[in-house]
C-alpha cells in the first residue's frame, strides 16, 4: 500500500550542537538502511528552507509504516501527516458516472 507522508522534524531549539550533529548522523544512517532494504521510499522531496520532507512510501499496512518511521532516531521530535493512496489509471474519472 502506498502512503503520502509529510514529515517535519522539530528538534528542540536548545539542543546542543554536538547532540544535534550526532542525531543528524544517526538519522541519515538509518534512512540509508531503510532505503537499501527495499522499496519503502518511493519518492522523497525536500521542502526548501525547512526541516521537512514529502514522501511517497510503500508499506504492507499502516502498522509497518509507523514501525519504520518509529525506528528513526529523530522520531520523538517529528510531526507526521499521512494519507493512504489508491492507484488509479491516468485519465480515469475521480467519481465514476452512473
CB 55 within 8 A of CB 4: yes
* Residues 75 and 34: beta-carbon distance below 8 Å: no
CB-based contact 27:73 (threshold 8 Å) = yes
Q: Is the pLDDT of residue 80 over 90?
A: yes
**Residue 96 confidence (pLDDT):** 65
Q: Which domains does the chain have, with CATH numbers?
A: 2-85 (3.30.70.1060)
pLDDT confidence tier of residue 87, bands split at 50, 70 and 90:
confident
Largest CA distance in the chain: 62
Stated pTM of the model? 0.84
- Cell numbers placing 85: 493512496
Cα(96)–Cα(98) distance, integer angstroms: 6
Amino acid at each position: 500500500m502506498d502512503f503520502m507522508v509529510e514529515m517535519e522534524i522539530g528538534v528542540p531549539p536548545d539542543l546542543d550542537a554536538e547532540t544535534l550533529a550526532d542525531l543528524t548522523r544517526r538519522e541519515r544512517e538509518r534512512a540509508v538502511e531503510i532505503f537499501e532494504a527495499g522499496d519503502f521510499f518511493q519518492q522523497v522531496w525536500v521542502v526548501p528552507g525547512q526541516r521537512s520532507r514529502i514522501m511517497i512510501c510503500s508499506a504492507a499496512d499502516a502498522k509497518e509504516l509507523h514501525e519504520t518511521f518509529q525506528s528513526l532516531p529523530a522520531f520523538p521530535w517529528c510531526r507526521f501527516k499521512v494519507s493512504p493512496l489508491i492507484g488509479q489509471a491516468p485519465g480515469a474519472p475521480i467519481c465514476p458516472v452512473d
